[in-house]
Structure 1
Amino acid sequence: MIGDQEHRTHLIQHQVMPHKHSHKLAKFYYATSELVQKAIETALQARVSWERVPLKDKFDMWLKAADLMAGKYRQDLNATTMLGQSKTIIQAEIDSAAELIDFLRFNALYAKEGTKWQPRSPEPNVTVNKLRLRGLEGFVAAISPFNFTAIGGNLAYTPAMMGNVVLWKPSDTAILSNFTIYKIMREAGVPGGVVSFIPSDGPVFGDTVTKSPHLAAINFTGSVPTFQRLWAQVGENLPNMRNFPRLVGECGGKNYHLVHPSADVTSVVNGTIRSAFEYCGQKCSACSRAYFPESLWPEIKEKLLSVQKELKVGDVREPDSFMSAVIDAKAFKRITGYIEHAKASSKTSIIAGGKYDDRSWLTAATEALKDSAGNFYINDKSTGSVVAQQPFGGARLSGTNDKAGGLQYALRWTSPQAIKQTMVPLTDIKYPYMV
């Protein structure tokens, strides 16, 4: 979808159910590089009129969309996420309904509050100072992942809310749920030229947008290598660009659980299993490493094995399924590779925690590990960030840590301009002390 026009190409693709490969859920078309370029031109034309729409009116559109998602289209979002991305009932509700709605409502609220601030004008009769929040000059390329429907909506539409025009490349394995978002936002009043929906081959899309002199920003969630490649491509093309593009990235983490000897074993086991197994570990915040103290390992091991046997892997339409299939063959190959590596390795060991006082250990660990993660949870699992409660963002090579769901995220997509208006003429070239 480019502007108000639907395009079909010879590059036909299908989204299948991850838990039933024979079921083709959606048919879609890859955009050619020429169509991506057409989308850039359409966006630049739409930017002129979109910037003229008052922020208040944009906020109202986003709140209307949130209401549509909370009511009329709630189960459409849940169903397309369950079947297309193989999420269980509760995981789909948490993601495609609750979190997506929260993104829209809280981002509008935070943007409204954030735009109230103005610089001081100590002598308003002489000088009036103002701050105008403009959209970025050019277009934003939003590249979203499969694992959260809400992330797709946030990556594409938060920049748009702040006056930007967006080219949205959704994941091939989340096409149907993401297109549902696109249609809802159109119904809420967002013009077609503001956000173009462009399924496409990753390198084709990346090469085209990073070569454009009008690229204003990339809003990305995905793998570290992909983000590194995009960053390098932007760097190579920087001499031809009108701006320094803004790069915002959330990448796959290697999250850890660090367990102290004083920990409650049941909580440790339940938290670790839920963090590691929720949505088959296909979450930005999923636990992929756990460090257990040697003194607790026998009890932890026993409980881990006991709980694991109770968990059902099955079709997401069966209410008692704890998790279902991984997203696609590429993920399956990667994960089974880890398993085979573990089988072949002779270097397996248990790493014990440090020896600290129980009244000071958490404080010491929090301080010592402050640079290790963008989000840091104490006495809790590493998944389950809630919009407006735990703004989410990965640090180090896990991302640029821009805290989606927090106050500063919407403002990240503005280009502040300081305005000074002098109210009296300058009648003398000399400074006052020279008189």
Structure 2
Amino acid sequence: MTLLNNAVINIPTAINEPILDYAPGSPERMRLKEALADASSQQLEIPLIIDGKRITTGNTGKVVMPHDHNHLLATYHKARTKEVKMAIDAALAAQKKWQAFRWEERCAIFLKAAELIAGKYRAKLNAGAMLAGGKNAFQAEIDAACEFIDFLRFNVAFAQEIYEKQPESSSGVWNYCQYRPLEGFVFAVTPFNFTAIAGNLPTAPAIMGNTVVWKPASSLVYTPYLIMEILEEAGLPPGVINFVPGSGATVGDPVLADPNLAGVHFTGSTKVFQGMWRTIGENIASYKSYPRLVGETGGKDFVFAHKSAEVKSLVTALVRGAFEYQGQKCSAASRAYIPSSLWPAVEAGLREEMSQIKMGPPTDFRNFTGAVIDEGAFDTICSYIDFARDSQGGEIIIGGKCDKSVGYFIEPTVILATDPHFKTMVEEIFGPVLTIYVYEDDAFIETLKLCDSSSPYALTGAIFSQDRAAVSTAMHQLEHTAGNFYINDKPTGAVVGQQPFGGGRASGTNDKAGSMANLLRWVSVRTVKETFVPPESFAYPFMGEE
């Protein structure tokens, strides 16, 4: 390891990665089509990666295409308790060496990874997000390529900002802070729905000098494995991030029981995160330090329209916000409150726009929506649609068909609820289902209060209005209802460095991925005071006379 002495080094200015549009005839479209054909033509075997070594266990799971569940993309090996312990040991063994790297040297690895993704691996990673994750070309581009690149570049810049924050020094004294990595290892538990989040959860702590045990979601192992390969090519030393796919209990139980657990970086269901928090609380006396718990969980995200809202932009926000990526975003618009004076025009607009939506394989670029991630998700989402079909208080007015004969396809569905507490209006569904409640125009404030109180979540929300006083009222009434709040825009699509992401209440710890606040959770500060001329007597001047 080379020490970068005698230099104060500035990180390159972080700039959001430009989004390619994949228009017909464009070179990026051709490269993506080739990558899709290449990935579709082979079957990967995905091992565990512990201390840089590929490990197979013989206990395997399948990676299939959501839109064609008979097409096997890969098999992946599942960790057993033995391998989980190996991963913990590898992380602990790598910690001193990784921590000894100057921060600029660590950051260089992740900046190189960003360039590799922006260049030669862009099409391959996007193709993986499409075939294994069910995203269309645009959704894959803004996630697997652009957002992940942004996380890497901006987190490196945030690291420099953190290290530069130093206290004042008085005469004869030099004060400074060391932003040390946590003592122990960090457990990263990542979701199926965003490759960028899957990559950010292990790399953000690693940038700050931590070592990591990474458990990807069983329904998205494919692109995380590609990320591990890219990180290794970028120069990530063995043992810094240890990749251990497997069941939640098999991996999670020994990790949460280990006294060296220093932190959890989690995105997933509220129930799972609360269970982890409970277990950590029960084990609290056995840990060497208090583990940092950072979680982004569920959402029941809303669009709230005032009578002054512009209908076309409102309809577009509802369609994009609710149905892009089949509604499988924690930020997806899942409920809407529409004033009665606007409802006829909004309904007509929804019917017109949704009649033009094409659904099918993401390999056909004409399709706006695809299949949901797996059979479990399909069955759960369809059970909500069946409930709406069979129950009083709500009715399906658009869509509602489900078919898993070839792929896990669910039509974009709109439910009109006469009961504001109807099941699909208040419970998280995580699928292409939007429930709308129509309120009387003069009940604006009462309905805002209803929106605030009828869900335990507080992730994203939007207000549509051309009346600034109404916007101000909504901002006030809905202050704690969403960690990311949008004015005249859909409640999805947060951009790293522009809209730091996270919510409160049952939606998580609101540690704002894509901001310096998140990285601060992965350091433990030591304050150092150096006195140049120390006193040589205990006596103070005031003691000179009685």
Taking structure 1 as the reference length, the TM-score comes to 0.98
- The yes-or-no answer on 1:89 pairing with 2:176 is no
**Amino acid of the residue matched to residue 94 of structure 1?**
I
State the distance in 2 between where 1:22 and 1:167 align: 31
State the distance in 1 between where 2:388 and 2:535 align: 76
For 2:127, the equivalent position in structure 1 comes to 79
Per-residue CA deviation, residues 294-346 of structure 1 (Å, 9 max, x unaligned), is 11111111111111111011000001100100000111111001101111221
Kindly indicate whether the alpha-carbon contact (under 8 Å) linking 1:314 and 1:325 is maintained by their aligned counterparts in 2: yes
Report the alpha carbon displacement of residue 392 of structure 1 after superposing the two structures with TM: 0.7
Q: State how 1:173-184 maps to structure 2 within 5 Å.
A: 173-184=219-230
State the distance in 1 between where 2:292 and 2:52 align: 27
State the distance in 1 between where 2:364 and 2:216 align: 27
Kindly indicate whether the alpha-carbon contact (under 8 Å) linking 2:343 and 2:438 is maintained by their aligned counterparts in 1: no
For 1:420, the equivalent position in structure 2 comes to 529
Which residue of the other structure, out of 453, 456, 473, is the alignment partner of 1:364?
473
For 2:92, the equivalent position in structure 1 comes to 44
State the distance in 2 between where 1:19 and 1:146 align: 15
Report the alpha carbon displacement of residue 99 of structure 1 after superposing the two structures with TM: 0.4
State the distance in 2 between where 1:359 and 1:424 align: 61
- The yes-or-no answer on 1:310 pairing with 2:356 is yes
- The yes-or-no answer on 1:65 pairing with 2:119 is no
Kindly indicate whether the alpha-carbon contact (under 8 Å) linking 2:292 and 2:521 is maintained by their aligned counterparts in 1: no
Kindly indicate whether the alpha-carbon contact (under 8 Å) linking 1:26 and 1:175 is maintained by their aligned counterparts in 2: no
Q: Secondary structure at the match of 1:85?
A: coil
- The yes-or-no answer on 1:119 pairing with 2:167 is yes
Gaps of 5+ in 2: 1-48, 395-417, 419-436, 446-465
Per-residue CA deviation, residues 60-90 of structure 1 (Å, 9 max, x unaligned), is 1111110001001111110111100010000
Q: Secondary structure at the match of 1:172?
A: coil
Which residue of the other structure, out of 362, 386, 398, is the alignment partner of 2:507?
398
Report the alpha carbon displacement of residue 351 of structure 1 after superposing the two structures with TM: 3.4
For 1:9, the equivalent position in structure 2 comes to 57
State the distance in 1 between where 2:468 and 2:265 align: 42
**Amino acid of the residue matched to residue 93 of structure 2?**
Q
**Amino acid of the residue matched to residue 386 of structure 1?**
V
For 2:438, the equivalent position in structure 1 comes to 351
**Structure with more of its chain in strand, by fraction:** 2
Q: State how 1:237-248 maps to structure 2 within 5 Å.
A: 237-248=283-294
For 1:195, the equivalent position in structure 2 comes to 241
Q: Secondary structure at the match of 2:509?
A: coil
Q: Secondary structure at the match of 2:55?
A: coil
Kindly indicate whether the alpha-carbon contact (under 8 Å) linking 1:162 and 1:414 is maintained by their aligned counterparts in 2: yes
State the distance in 1 between where 2:212 and 2:295 align: 16
For 2:13, the equivalent position in structure 1 comes to none
Kindly indicate whether the alpha-carbon contact (under 8 Å) linking 2:95 and 2:211 is maintained by their aligned counterparts in 1: yes
Which residue of the other structure, out of 361, 382, 388, is the alignment partner of 1:336?
382
Kindly indicate whether the alpha-carbon contact (under 8 Å) linking 2:205 and 2:519 is maintained by their aligned counterparts in 1: yes
Tell me the percent identity.
46
Kindly indicate whether the alpha-carbon contact (under 8 Å) linking 1:140 and 1:167 is maintained by their aligned counterparts in 2: yes
Report the alpha carbon displacement of residue 5 of structure 1 after superposing the two structures with TM: 1.4
For 1:385, the equivalent position in structure 2 comes to 494
For 2:483, the equivalent position in structure 1 comes to 374
- The yes-or-no answer on 1:277 pairing with 2:364 is no
Which residue of the other structure, out of 335, 341, 357, is the alignment partner of 1:289?
335
Report the alpha carbon displacement of residue 355 of structure 1 after superposing the two structures with TM: 4.2
Q: Secondary structure at the match of 2:151?
A: helix
State the distance in 2 between where 1:104 and 1:266 align: 36
Kindly indicate whether the alpha-carbon contact (under 8 Å) linking 1:144 and 1:151 is maintained by their aligned counterparts in 2: yes
- The yes-or-no answer on 1:33 pairing with 2:55 is no
Q: Secondary structure at the match of 1:292?
A: strand
State the distance in 2 between where 1:265 and 1:16 align: 40
Q: Secondary structure at the match of 2:219?
A: helix
Over 3 Å counting, the alpha-carbon distance change for 1:344 and 1:253 in structure 2 is: same
Kindly indicate whether the alpha-carbon contact (under 8 Å) linking 1:224 and 1:251 is maintained by their aligned counterparts in 2: yes
Q: Secondary structure at the match of 1:283?
A: coil
Report the alpha carbon displacement of residue 59 of structure 1 after superposing the two structures with TM: 1.2
Segment drifting more, 109-118 vs 382-391: 109-118
State the distance in 1 between where 2:304 and 2:251 align: 40
Report the alpha carbon displacement of residue 111 of structure 1 after superposing the two structures with TM: 1.1
Q: Secondary structure at the match of 2:283?
A: helix
Per-residue CA deviation, residues 22-60 of structure 1 (Å, 9 max, x unaligned), is 111111111001110111111101001000000011111
Q: How many residues align?
A: 433
State the distance in 1 between where 2:354 and 2:137 align: 20
Kindly indicate whether the alpha-carbon contact (under 8 Å) linking 2:61 and 2:78 is maintained by their aligned counterparts in 1: yes
State the distance in 1 between where 2:335 and 2:342 align: 16
Instruction: Report which structure shows greater RCO (CA 8 Å, sep ≥6).
Output: 1
State the distance in 2 between where 1:9 and 1:182 align: 18
For 1:301, the equivalent position in structure 2 comes to 347
- The yes-or-no answer on 1:148 pairing with 2:194 is yes
State the distance in 1 between where 2:484 and 2:318 align: 16
**Amino acid of the residue matched to residue 226 of structure 2?**
T
Report the alpha carbon displacement of residue 115 of structure 1 after superposing the two structures with TM: 1.1
State the distance in 1 between where 2:503 and 2:195 align: 18
**Amino acid of the residue matched to residue 118 of structure 2?**
A
**Amino acid of the residue matched to residue 309 of structure 1?**
S
Which residue of the other structure, out of 506, 520, 524, is the alignment partner of 1:411?
520
For 2:33, the equivalent position in structure 1 comes to none
Gaps of 5+ in 1: none
Per-residue CA deviation, residues 91-121 of structure 1 (Å, 9 max, x unaligned), is 0001000100000001111111221111111
State the distance in 2 between where 1:93 and 1:15 align: 21
Segment drifting more, 30-39 vs 138-147: 30-39
Q: Secondary structure at the match of 1:6?
A: strand
State the distance in 2 between where 1:248 and 1:137 align: 16
Q: State how 1:122-271 maps to structure 2 within 5 Å.
A: 122-123=170-171, 126-271=172-317
Taking structure 2 as the reference length, the TM-score comes to 0.78
State the distance in 1 between where 2:260 and 2:198 align: 22
**Amino acid of the residue matched to residue 377 of structure 1?**
Y
For 1:326, the equivalent position in structure 2 comes to 372
State the distance in 1 between where 2:136 and 2:494 align: 18
**Amino acid of the residue matched to residue 105 of structure 1?**
R
**Amino acid of the residue matched to residue 39 of structure 1?**
A
